[in-house]
Structure formats: C-alpha cells, structure tokens
C-alpha cells in the first residue's frame, strides 16, 4: 500500500473513530434529555442549539477563506506571523460583536428565557468562531488526528458533566447551556495549544495585515453566506413553527429533525477527509470518482432508512410525551438521503471546483422556495403536517438542482438515478405515513431489494473503483 492510501486510511480512521464516539454521545443526548427534562425545558435547550448554528455567520467567512486558500498545504510551511495577525484581528472582532449582541439582548428582549439564550450566544460566538480558526487550519493541513481530539474533548467533557448533574437531579436547561459552553471553552484552549507555534509569535514582530484579512473574507464569504443560506432553508420553517405555534411544538419538531440528522454527523465528517484529497486529483478523474462515491453512498443511505421502523417502535415506548415527534419522523427521515448527498458529494465537489457561486445560487433559490412554501403552509393553511412535510420536499429540490448543475460541469447524466431515488423516497414516506404497522417496513424493504437488484452491477463496479482509487 502506497503512502497516499495509507494517509487516506489514517485520516479516515481518525474521522471514523471521532464521529462514532460523537454519534454515540449525540444518541445519548437525543434520547435521554427529552426523557428526563420537561418538554418546555427541552424545547428551550433546542432553541439555544438552533440559534447557535448561525454563529459562524458572524465571522463573515474569515475562517472559511483560510480553509479554502490553504487547503492541502503543510502546517510547517505556514507563515506563522501572518496567521497570528489574523488570530488577533478575529478575536477582537468577535469580542466587539459579542458585546453588541449582549447589550441588545439585555435592553430589547422581554422574554427572560430568550434573553438568557441570546446573552449566552454572545459569549458562545467568541469561543466557537476562534476555535474554528484553529480547527480549520488543522483540517486544511491534514492534521485530522489533532482535529478529532478537539471535538472529542468538547463532546466527552460535556457528556460527563451533563450526566453528573442529571445524577444529582438537576434538570435546568440553563445549566445545560453553561455546561456546553464549558466544553467548548476547554476544547478551544486545547486547540490553541495544538497551534501554539502560531500563538507564540512575538506580537512586536507582527504586522496587522488588513489585506490578508480582506482576502480571506473575500474567498470565504461566498461559502459562508452559502452555508448560512443553506441553514436558513430549514431554519425559516423552524422559526415559523416557534412563532406560530409554541415553544413546546418547536421542541417536538426539533427532536424529529435531530433524530433524522443523526446519521449526518458521520457523513459531514467524511466530507472533511475527502475535500483535501479531491484538491489534489486531476479534474478529468473527478467524474469517475463522483460516480463511484455516489453509487455506494446512495445504496447505504437508502438502506439506512430501514432504521426508521425499529426507531419508531422504540421511541413510542421510550418517549410517550413526544408522540407527534415519532409521527413526523415518517415525513422527514428521508432528509438523510438528500442532505447526505449534498454534504458529502455535491458541496465537496463544488468547493473543489471553486464553484462557490453555483452553490450560493442553489441555496438562494431553495431559500426563496422555502420562504414561499412555509408562508403558505404556516400562515395561510396553518397545517403543521404540511409544514413538516415541506422540509423534505425543499431539501429534495435543492439536492436535485445542485446535482443537475454539477452534472453539466462534469458532463455526466444522473436522471435515471435521481428518478429512482425519488421513487424510493415517496414509497418510504407514503407507506410510513398511511400504513401504521410493520407492513410498511415490509413494503419498503421489498422496494429496497428491487433497488439493489437494479443497481447490482453499478455497486460492484463502484466498490472495485473505490479500491483502485485508494491504492493510487
């Protein structure tokens, strides 16, 4: 096995191990917290998590630009003085934003729970965005082992603290938020230690490079804005639910999305490994690699949908207060198909080809569609079932549109595969929603077997191609 294959497997193993641990921790939190907390307490915890995902927007693509510009380089070859300058500027900028946000929340937000959440977010943003500075440097320079350690410290420390306080009977969502903050702060300190060569630069020898700052933001702002718009596609629907129904309904829908996104933790991590590799691949080889990865990924994800049936049964017993969440799973569980493909393949390829504008275009069109559909289903029809169902429809639209544009760039045809996957999706949704028994699982399982038979040759070929790609 050559060095390239060894390096790929090494990075893959680090990422796999970290995200298996992360998946276990997420599973424990997803299934235990709603069991032991009240619905309202859990819902405010979910509101905090909802707001926190938009925090990276407040660095304007700064760290994204660093990741894109320096992806594939060696850590030892980085200009440490230049990066220290960027660190100082980023830290100061985040502190200023945080002070403004904290002051705004203290003066203008009336609801005490929401005021507390925004105030904590104003502290959270400085911690997490500065941590992104270090983790993106580690990812860009292929230091996946160290990156994995940072994430593990954050999650494991948080889990230990949560279970410790739950053991002593504490159920307050505010304390839970503070524990999350502690985990992220400790992991930030460790991330800074891993990049100490940057931080030990003498400040007197550093020139504040505004030009470098603007270059990073210019490059990263497109992908950052695109990512933020991507989050808002589902975000505007969730916000509409919170405003038009109540915080408890928001919490129940959030639980459904958390369960459906469970697999995405692992898939997102694979994209981190694949991006630096694709940056080194000749452009003419990209279509073949895409077909290989796509075939194997979709076969796995369509099979993963079978998890819904035992999950539905177990959750109805474990969380009887969240019966609506279990019901909604039939509508939104297929988002793993479209979000998985979007995250692992389409986003990664568009970044590799430096087609950030295409990604932004797709996300903006999808956001406009989301606002239009959610306005109709939330404010005119006022039907929560249709609101939830619209989530998977919009994400399906985004995935199909993005892949259509990518297929034109790489000159390949995905029409038949897309049609087949959409058929499988609707078989799953309609049987899961209208057939309330194990018969729905049998129907979908038969459909999945037919899919595997139809794709048998392609799957074998893709598996062989993957082995060849890794060896080269």
Express each pLDDT in 98-149 by its tens digit: 999 999 999 999 999 999 999 999 999 999 999 999 999 988 887 878 888 8
pLDDT digits (tens, 9 = 90+) for 149-187: 898 999 999 999 999 988 888 889 999 999 999 999 999
Residue 7 is predicted with a pLDDT of 62
Question: Is position 389 within any domain?
Answer: yes
Residue 443 is predicted with a pLDDT of 94
Contact 67, 140 (CB under 8 A): yes
Residues 307/269/237/61 CA torsion (nearest 10 deg): 180
Q: What is the 3-state secondary structure (H, E, C) of the chain?
A: CCHHHHHHHHHHHHHHHHHHHHHHHHHHHHHHHHHHCCHHHHHHHHHHHHHHCCHHHHHCCHHHHHHHHHCCCCHHHCCHHHHHHHHHHHHHHHHHHHHHHHHHHHHHCCCHHHHHHHHHHHHHHHHHHHHHHHHHHHHHCCCHHHHHHHHHHHHHHHHHHHHHHHHCCCCCHHHHHHHHHHHHHHHHHHHHHHCHHHHCCCHHHCCCCHHHHHHHHHHHHHHHHHHHHHHHHHHHHHHHHHHHCCHHHHHHHHHHHHHHCCCHHHHHHHHHHHHHHHCCCCHHHHHHHHHHHHHHHHHHHHHHHHHHHHHHHHHHHHCHHHHHHHHHHHHHCCHHHHHHHHHHHHHHHHHHCCCHHHHHHHHHHHHHHHHHHHHHHHHHHCCHHHHHHHHHHHHHHHHHHHHHHHHHHHCCCCHHHHHHHHHHHHHHHHHHHHCCCCHHHHHHHHHHHHHHHHCHHHHHHHHHHHHHHHHC
Share of the chain above pLDDT 90, in %: 46
49 with 189, same domain: the answer is: yes
Residue 400 is predicted with a pLDDT of 95
Domain end marker among 190, 208, 226: 208
163 with 292, same domain: the answer is: no
pLDDT digits (tens, 9 = 90+) for 188-201: 999 999 988 888 76
Residue 431 is predicted with a pLDDT of 92
Mean pLDDT of the chain: 86
Q: Measure CA 108 to chain center.
A: 31
Residue 72 is predicted with a pLDDT of 73
Vertex 76 angle, CA 74 and 78, to 5°: 75
Residue 78 is predicted with a pLDDT of 80
146 with 258, same domain: the answer is: no
**What's the pLDDT band for 472 if we cut at 50, 70, 90?**
low
Task: Using the predicted structure, report yes or no on whether residue 273 has a pLDDT greater than 90.
Answer: no
Task: Using the predicted structure, report yes or no on whether residue 263 has a pLDDT greater than 80.
Answer: no
180 with 224, same domain: the answer is: no
415 with 284, same domain: the answer is: yes
204 with 223, same domain: the answer is: no
**What's the pLDDT band for 430 if we cut at 50, 70, 90?**
very high
Residue 469 is predicted with a pLDDT of 64
Domain end marker among 163, 183, 208: 208
Question: Is position 185 within any domain?
Answer: yes
Residues 220/270/398/296 CA torsion (nearest 10 deg): 150
Contact 133, 160 (CB under 8 A): no
Question: Is position 213 within any domain?
Answer: no
Domain end marker among 185, 208, 231: 208
Task: Using the predicted structure, report yes or no on whether residue 230 has a pLDDT greater than 90.
Answer: no
Residue 29 is predicted with a pLDDT of 87
192 with 291, same domain: the answer is: no
Residue 142 is predicted with a pLDDT of 79
Residue 201 is predicted with a pLDDT of 67
437 with 297, same domain: the answer is: yes
Residue 16 is predicted with a pLDDT of 67
Residue 10 is predicted with a pLDDT of 66
**What's the pLDDT band for 344 if we cut at 50, 70, 90?**
confident
Vertex 176 angle, CA 33 and 111, to 5°: 105
For residues 222-237, give the mean pLDDT: 87
Residue 206 is predicted with a pLDDT of 59
Q: Name the residue range of residue 32's domain.
A: 1-11+21-208
Task: Using the predicted structure, report yes or no on whether residue 276 has a pLDDT greater than 60.
Answer: no
Task: Using the predicted structure, report yes or no on whether residue 22 has a pLDDT greater than 80.
Answer: no
Residue 125 is predicted with a pLDDT of 93
Residue 465 is predicted with a pLDDT of 77
374 Cβ partners below 8 Å, 6+ apart? 236, 237, 240, 387, 390
Residue 265 is predicted with a pLDDT of 67
Question: What is the phi/psi pair of residue 334, to 5°?
Answer: -65, -5
Give the pair of three-digit tokens for residue 317.
């017993």
Task: Using the predicted structure, report yes or no on whether residue 279 has a pLDDT greater than 70.
Answer: no
Give the pair of three-digit tokens for residue 25.
């921790």
pTM: 0.84
Question: Is position 16 within any domain?
Answer: no
How many structural domains compose the chain? 2
222 with 173, same domain: the answer is: no
232 with 201, same domain: the answer is: no
196 with 60, same domain: the answer is: yes
Residue 15 is predicted with a pLDDT of 67
161 with 229, same domain: the answer is: no
Residue 277 is predicted with a pLDDT of 62
Which segment of 132-136, 183-187, 208-212, 315-319 scores lowest on mean pLDDT? 208-212
Task: Using the predicted structure, report yes or no on whether residue 77 has a pLDDT greater than 60.
Answer: yes
For residues 23-38, give the mean pLDDT: 87
Residue 140 is predicted with a pLDDT of 84
Residue 68 is predicted with a pLDDT of 81
């Amino acid at each position: 096995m050559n060095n390239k294959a060894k390096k790929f497997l090494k990075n893959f193993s680090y990422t796999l191990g970290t995200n298996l641990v992360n998946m276990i921790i997420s599973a424990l939190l997803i299934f235990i917290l709603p069991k032991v907390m009240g619905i309202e307490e859990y819902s405010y915890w979910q509101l905090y998590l909802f707001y926190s995902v938009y925090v990276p927007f407040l660095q304007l693509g700064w760290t994204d630009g660093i990741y894109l510009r320096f992806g594939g380089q060696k850590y030892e070859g980085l200009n440490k003085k230049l990066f220290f300058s960027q660190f100082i500027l980023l830290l100061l900028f985040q502190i200023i934003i945080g002070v403004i946000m904290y002051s705004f929340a203290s003066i203008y937000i009336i609801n005490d729970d929401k005021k507390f959440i925004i105030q904590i977010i104003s502290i959270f943003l400085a911690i997490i965005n500065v941590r992104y500075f270090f983790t993106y440097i580690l990812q860009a320079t292929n230091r996946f082992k160290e990156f994995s350690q940072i994430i593990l410290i954050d999650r494991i420390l948080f889990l230990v603290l949560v279970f410790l306080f739950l053991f002593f009977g504490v159920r307050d969502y505010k304390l839970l938020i503070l524990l999350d903050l502690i985990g992220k702060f400790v992991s930030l300190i460790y991330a800074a230690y891993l990049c100490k060569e940057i931080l030990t630069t003498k400040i007197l020898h550093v020139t504040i490079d505004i030009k470098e700052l603007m270059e990073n933001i210019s490059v990263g702002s497109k992908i950052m804005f695109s990512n933020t718009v991507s989050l808002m596609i589902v975000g505007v629907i969730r916000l509409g639910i919170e405003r038009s129904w109540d915080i408890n309904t928001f919490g129940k829908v959030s639980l459904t999305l958390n369960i459906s996104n469970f697999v995405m933790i692992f898939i997102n991590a694979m994209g981190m490994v694949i991006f630096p590799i694709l940056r080194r691949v000749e452009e003419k080889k990209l279509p073949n690699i895409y077909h290989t990865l796509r075939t194997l990924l979709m076969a796995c994800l369509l099979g993963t949908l079978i998890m819904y049936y035992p999950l539905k049964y177990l959750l109805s017993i474990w969380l009887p207060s969240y019966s609506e969440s279990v019901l909604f799973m039939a509508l939104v569980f297929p988002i793993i198909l479209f979000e998985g493909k979007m995250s692992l393949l389409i986003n990664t390829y568009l970044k590799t080809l430096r087609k950030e504008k295409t990604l932004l275009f797709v996300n903006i069109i999808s956001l406009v569609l989301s606002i239009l559909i959610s306005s109709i289903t939330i404010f005119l029809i006022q039907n929560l079932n249709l609101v939830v169902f619209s989530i998977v429809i919009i994400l399906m639209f985004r995935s199909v549109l993005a892949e259509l544009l990518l297929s034109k760039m790489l000159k390949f045809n995905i029409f038949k595969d897309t049609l087949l996957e959409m058929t499988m999706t609707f078989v799953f949704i309609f049987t899961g929603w209208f057939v309330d028994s194990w018969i729905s699982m049998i129907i979908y399982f038969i459909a999945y077997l037919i899919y595997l038979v139809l794709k048998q040759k392609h799957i074998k070929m893709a598996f062989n191609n993957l082995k060849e790609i890794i060896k080269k």
